[in-house]
Amino acid sequence: EKAIASVVNFLEDDLKEETGKELRIPLNSKADFLLIPSSTDLFVNTDTMKGYTKVLNALNKKWTISSRATEAANFGLFASEKYLRDFGNFVVDEAISLGVKTVLWGECGHGWRSASNYVRYELAKNGIELMHIHQFTLKALERGQLKVDKNKNDDLFNYHDPCNYARGGNLVNEPREILKMVVRETVEAKYTKEETFCCGAGGGLLADEKNWNEFRAWAGWPAVYYSWKTGASYMISPCAIDKAQFPYVIDYHKVPLKMKGLMDLVGYALEI
């Protein structure tokens, strides 16, 4: 808990320096919304966490994260149904403990797949709703509750469908709609939606083992290649494993492409 609190304090200070405003990340608080981020959003992909924070503060929502549930990933999906359920039930118990009405899931592909297909129904038994942060954010944008400036993302962006969103999580259109609302220009790759390419980092390949790295670089190449061929400057993928894998693949193949999460761009465009 102390480590998470320290990270939260650092991010709040960083946000104040960026925006000039006090944007809080409540921790272990009674709330209406419980945000489940990927742990990497707190330590590595911090612009993603800042994007969540800016949206929830701009909407003046009563929200919190939990030091006991700061991981959207559910590796039980790859290990066994028992572990998948154990992790899912841990989140459910935490949501009940904090008295929330809605659980918001952060940017994690397989984490969303397991949440959408299991955790959702366990939460519903307790009168708690599950939403992905993209579904929540899109509704706010469509209702005009968030003011954004597309000029802050003045480039050409290609959206990559994380395989667990497109083929196992029923999350295809919402991210695209958000992207169109917060950037100047978007372009689609040849293979998208249910036909998307895997990032190539599953099955333990992301472990950064020397003997696997060349295979890992080529396993992720089709997705990067078709994004690069669109002419986009940025490849956007809202998945923690993609965010770890694609920069490695891009660097290995020396292509002029940059990688970001979707909520990063929302945070950049949002006028607080």
* Mean of per-residue pLDDT scores for the chain: 95
Q: Which residues is 104 bridged to in the sheet?
A: 35, 131
Torsion of CA 140, 33, 106, 11, to 10 degrees: 100
Task: Identify the residue with better confidence: 134 or 74.
Answer: 134
| Burial class for 119, CB neighbours closer than 10 Å (0-12, 13-18, 19+) | buried
Residue 82 binned pLDDT confidence (cut-offs 50, 70, 90):
confident
| pLDDT, tens digit, 9 for 90 and up, residues 164-210 | 999 999 999 999 999 999 999 999 999 999 999 999 987 777 877 78
**Within 29-168, where are the H helices?**
39-43, 46-58, 76-79, 81-97, 109-114, 120-124, 133-142, 163-166
| pLDDT, tens digit, 9 for 90 and up, residues 85-135 | 888 999 999 999 999 999 999 999 989 999 999 999 999 999 999 999 999
Q: Is 254 helix (H, G, I), strand (E, B) or coil?
A: coil
Domain ranges (residues) in the chain: 2-140, 146-269
Multiple choice CATH, 146-269, 2.60.120, 1.10.3470, 1.10.10, 3.40.50: 3.40.50
pLDDT for res 1:
81
pLDDT for res 175:
98
Residue 141 binned pLDDT confidence (cut-offs 50, 70, 90):
very high
pLDDT for res 173:
97
Class of the domain covering 2-140: mainly alpha
Residue 43 binned pLDDT confidence (cut-offs 50, 70, 90):
very high
Contact 171, 112 (CB under 8 A): yes
Same fold, 2-140 and 146-269: no
What are the CA-CA distances from residue 82 to residues 60, 87, 114, 167, 250 (Å)?
38, 9, 12, 22, 36
Residue 77 binned pLDDT confidence (cut-offs 50, 70, 90):
confident
Per-residue pLDDT, averaged over 229-239, amounts to: 98
Sheet with strand 234-236: strands edge to edge: 185-187, 156-159, 234-236, 258-260
pLDDT for res 209:
78
Name every residue whose Cβ is closer than 8 Å to that of residue 154 and which is 6 or more positions away in sequence: 183, 184
pTM, 2 dp: 0.95
Q: Which residues is 130 bridged to in the sheet?
A: 103
pLDDT of 76 above 80: no
The percentage of residues in the chain with a pLDDT greater than 90, rounded to a whole number, is 87
| Burial class for 240, CB neighbours closer than 10 Å (0-12, 13-18, 19+) | buried
Q: Is 234 helix (H, G, I), strand (E, B) or coil?
A: strand
Residue 211 binned pLDDT confidence (cut-offs 50, 70, 90):
confident
